[in-house]
């Protein structure tokens, strides 16, 4: 992975990078104020970071310095890499997929994890997608569909590895909130947990050390880390939803949509969404975060309630965007 020293960037590029981080810290705080700052658990909650704390603007300026550029290495991220100083990709211990619906997804797709295709300008991500699929059991086309729905796109349609939601701390290809990402690093059996242990970022109780938050959160902008964590989160969310008693079809297309629902809402809200629905207050908060207050208000007026408006929007979004058949070399028949 190619990285760059802040000192080597031209003034305009350096100013954009610093401004982007400063703005993200302000918007994180505003986001928390908007939702009341309540801790909603590890599903989708997050806390803003004050200047000078690990992961903040001050931390970025001291830690995001790349000195170890690998000869001939290629970058999917362009010249604005946000990886920490001295970062090199880690290949952790392979974790076998847990038994259950996700482990069976390959068997339901004609006996093998599907090869990914149809990526076009994003073809450079194919090896990482297929490695994550082979390790986790979540088909690569499903992972590609989640990324395509979450990540921002450049003008040529390529996924922006540096995607950032201005209304929250969501970042990277998988748009992981800071707290969700840290939770994945602390959960045993995950690729990111193995990386954190290898790096010495966890304390004796398995919690992320405060000084490690900055470099850990920066890994959201690393393609390999982001894709593997998307796979682990998908696997965990499907198992959580199914274990809660929610019964859904077992075909890969349905499970891909279920994986995205858990990714988008977090497992707790996903279960509530499927089992009786979200409260109007929670639905209104989520809809505003996704489409803005003005458009959300219009949809709520038309639907008659925030819960109905949010459900209609999310169902339509998932139906139109979570299409793993678009990224499968096996074609749509495997996902019918």
Of 284, 268, 291, nearest in space to 44 by CA? 268
| 277-302 burial: b if 16+ Cβ within 10 Å, else e | ebeeebbbbbbbbbbeeeebeebbee
The C-alpha atoms of residue 116 and residue 136 are separated, in whole angstroms, by 15
Distant-in-sequence, close-in-space partners of 91: CB < 8 Å, separation ≥ 6? none
Split at pLDDT 50, 70, 90, the class of 19 is low
pLDDT of residue 269: 94
Residue range 98-335 forms a domain whose CATH class is mainly alpha
Per-residue pLDDT tens over the stretch 77-98: 332 333 444 444 444 443 444 4
- Report whether 54 contacts 214 (CB < 8 A): yes
Per-residue pLDDT tens over the stretch 161-179: 998 887 788 899 999 999 9
- Report whether 27 contacts 19 (CB < 8 A): no
Helix, strand or coil for residue 328? strand
The C-alpha atoms of residue 34 and residue 287 are separated, in whole angstroms, by 13
The C-alpha atoms of residue 185 and residue 114 are separated, in whole angstroms, by 27
> How large is the average pLDDT for residues 240-260?
85
Per-residue pLDDT tens over the stretch 251-291: 778 888 999 999 889 899 999 999 989 999 999 999 998 89
> How large is the average pLDDT for residues 170-198?
95
Look at the chain and count its residues: 336
Where is average pLDDT lowest: 95-104, 121-130, 213-222, 241-250?
Answer: 95-104
Tell me the DSSP string of 164-230: B-TTSS-BTTTTB-HHHHHHHHHSTTSHHHHHHHHHT-B-TTSPBPGGGHHHHHHGGG-HHHHHHHH
pLDDT of residue 130: 95
| Alpha-helix residue ranges (DSSP H) falling in 275-305 | 280-291, 293-303
Split at pLDDT 50, 70, 90, the class of 49 is very low
Number of Cβ within 10 Å of residue 131's Cβ equals 18
pLDDT of residue 335: 42
């Amino acid at each position: 992975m190619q990285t760059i020293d802040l000192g080597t960037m031209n003034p305009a590029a350096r100013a954009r990078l610093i401004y982007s981080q400063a703005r993200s810290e302000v918007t994180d705080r505003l986001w928390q104020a908007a939702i009341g700052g309540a801790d909603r658990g590890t599903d989708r909650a997050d806390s803003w970071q004050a200047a000078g704390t690990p992961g903040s603007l001050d931390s970025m300026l001291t830690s995001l310095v790349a000195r170890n550029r690998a000869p001939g290495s290629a970058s999917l991220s362009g010249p604005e890499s946000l990886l920490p100083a001295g970062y090199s990709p880690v290949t952790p211990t392979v974790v076998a997929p847990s038994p259950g619906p996700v482990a069976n997804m390959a068997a339901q797709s004609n006996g093998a994890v599907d090869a990914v295709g149809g990526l076009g300008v994003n073809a450079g991500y194919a090896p990482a997608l297929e490695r994550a699929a082979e390790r986790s059991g979540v088909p690569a086309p499903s992972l590609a569909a989640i990324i395509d729905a979450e990540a921002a796109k450049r003008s040529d349609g390529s996924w922006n590895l540096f995607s950032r939601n201005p209304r929250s701390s969501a970042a990277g290809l998988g748009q992981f909130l800071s707290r969700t990402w840290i939770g994945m690093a602390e959960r045993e059996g995950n690729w990111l947990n193995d990386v954190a242990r290898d790096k010495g970022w966890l304390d004796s109780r398995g919690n992320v050390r405060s000084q490690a938050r900055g470099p850990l959160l920066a890994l959201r902008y690393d393609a390999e880390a982001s894709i593997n964590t998307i796979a682990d989160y998908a696997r965990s969310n499907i198992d959580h939803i199914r274990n809660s008693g929610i019964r859904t079809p077992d075909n890969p297309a349905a499970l891909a949509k279920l994986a995205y629902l858990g990714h988008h809402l977090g497992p707790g809200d996903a279960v509530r969404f499927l089992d009786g629905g979200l409260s109007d207050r929670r639905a209104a908060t989520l809809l505003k975060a996704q489409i803005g207050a003005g458009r959300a208000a219009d949809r709520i007026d038309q639907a008659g309630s925030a819960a109905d408006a949010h459900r209609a929007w999310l169902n339509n979004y998932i139906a139109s965007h979570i299409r793993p058949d678009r990224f499968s070399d096996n074609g749509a028949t495997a996902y019918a």
